[in-house]
């Protein structure tokens, strides 16, 4: 389904959510949840019911207060997050969720919105903890791998994320999917962006990615080919024309889309 999302100023109220929400970022935490995205999450899920995980060793816990309510965060929000293998990042996810349970009142099961590589980390997590997640939405996740990670593996090592790049190659992702099928009782929804034109991104990554995929004649969100961002085990929720990989985590209208299907 192709959608044109409403502006964040013209949204209808929704019923209170049955489960808390956990947000899981992607590679290097380069594309981060914006304040407007987080505020809309609190508006939808309620104060003290939105939890942001940073996938690194840090056990730092802190909270941010917005007019809509409080968000809880774990780990350090720097580019060192999301730089390890899927397996190692899964252990960080387990660690952070345990801290949230012990110190910040997180209850199970919870909803999850995962961006990019975070959706693969989530797959690994639910294979070990299939009763923890009520439902999930992935945003721009390379469910069939990312050729750009394979072809730019050398660059991954330059920026300190070589192990993460290695986990994102099509071969490694196929192995992950085969080893860890998505549990059939957990609803999974996918959203993908279809970029139009050229964007810069945070450090030029979307510019390079757009040129790379144009040479391959593949639609993409700037980093992930559109045909690889769907998952046969899930329900494809929407294509977002004119969006890119970064806008998936910055536009609160995307949060509203996710909220429309998460219980």
Q: What is the pLDDT of residues 129-171, one digit of tens each?
A: 999 999 999 999 999 999 999 999 999 999 999 999 999 999 9
- In the chain, the percentage of residues whose pLDDT exceeds 70 is 95
Domain carrying residue 167: 21-259
Give the model's confidence band at 8: pLDDT under 50 very low, under 70 low, under 90 confident, else very high: very low
Residue 13: per-residue pLDDT: 56
Residue 141: per-residue pLDDT: 98
**Has residue 4 been placed in a domain?**
no
Annotate 167-200 with DSSP letters as a single string.
Answer: HHSHHHHHHHHHHSPPPTTS-EEEEEEE--S---
Task: Determine the average pLDDT of the residues in 40-46.
Answer: 98
Residue 78: per-residue pLDDT: 87
**Has residue 153 been placed in a domain?**
yes
Residue 12: per-residue pLDDT: 53
Question: Residue 15 and residue 263: Cα distance in Å, rounded?
Answer: 9
**Has residue 235 been placed in a domain?**
yes
Mean pLDDT, rounded, of the chain:
95
**Has residue 158 been placed in a domain?**
yes
The domain tally of the chain equals 1
- In the chain, the percentage of residues whose pLDDT exceeds 90 is 92
Which among 118, 146, 145, 57 has a CA at the least distance from the CA of 249? Answer: 118
**Has residue 122 been placed in a domain?**
yes
Exposed (0-12), middle (13-18) or buried (19+): which is 91, by Cβ within 10 Å?
Answer: middle
Give the model's confidence band at 4: pLDDT under 50 very low, under 70 low, under 90 confident, else very high: low
**Has residue 187 been placed in a domain?**
yes
pTM for this entry: 0.95
CATH classification at residue 153: 3.40.50.1820
Residue 6: per-residue pLDDT: 54
**Has residue 6 been placed in a domain?**
no
**Has residue 198 been placed in a domain?**
yes
Give the model's confidence band at 10: pLDDT under 50 very low, under 70 low, under 90 confident, else very high: very low
Give the model's confidence band at 3: pLDDT under 50 very low, under 70 low, under 90 confident, else very high: low
């Amino acid at each position: 389904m192709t959608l044109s999302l409403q502006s964040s100023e013209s949204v209808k109220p929704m019923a209170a959510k049955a489960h808390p929400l956990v947000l899981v970022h992607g590679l290097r935490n380069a594309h981060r949840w914006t304040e407007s995205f987080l505020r809309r999450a609190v508006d939808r899920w309620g104060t003290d019911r939105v939890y942001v995980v940073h996938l690194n060793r840090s056990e730092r816990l802190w909270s941010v207060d917005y007019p809509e309510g409080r968000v809880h965060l774990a780990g350090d929000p720097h580019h060192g997050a999301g730089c390890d293998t899927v397996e190692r990042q899964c252990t960080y996810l387990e660690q952070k969720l345990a801290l949230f349970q012990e110190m910040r009142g997180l209850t199970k099961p919870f909803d999850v919105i995962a961006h990019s590589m975070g959706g693969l980390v989530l797959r690994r997590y639910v294979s070990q903890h299939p009763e923890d997640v009520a439902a999930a939405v992935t945003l721009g996740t390379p469910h069939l791998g990312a050729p750009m990670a394979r072809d730019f593996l050398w660059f991954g090592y330059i920026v300190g994320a070589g192990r993460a790049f290695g986990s994102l190659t099509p071969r490694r992702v196929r192995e992950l999917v085969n080893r860890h099928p998505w549990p059939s009782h957990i609803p999974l929804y996918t959203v993908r962006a279809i970029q139009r034109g050229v964007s810069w991104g945070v450090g030029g990554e979307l510019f390079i990615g757009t040129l790379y995929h144009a040479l391959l004649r593949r639609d993409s969100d700037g980093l992930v080919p559109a045909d690889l961002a769907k998952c046969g085990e899930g329900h494809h929720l929407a294509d977002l024309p004119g969006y890119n990989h970064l806008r998936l985590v910055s536009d609160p209208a995307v949060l509203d889309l996710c909220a429309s299907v998460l219980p």
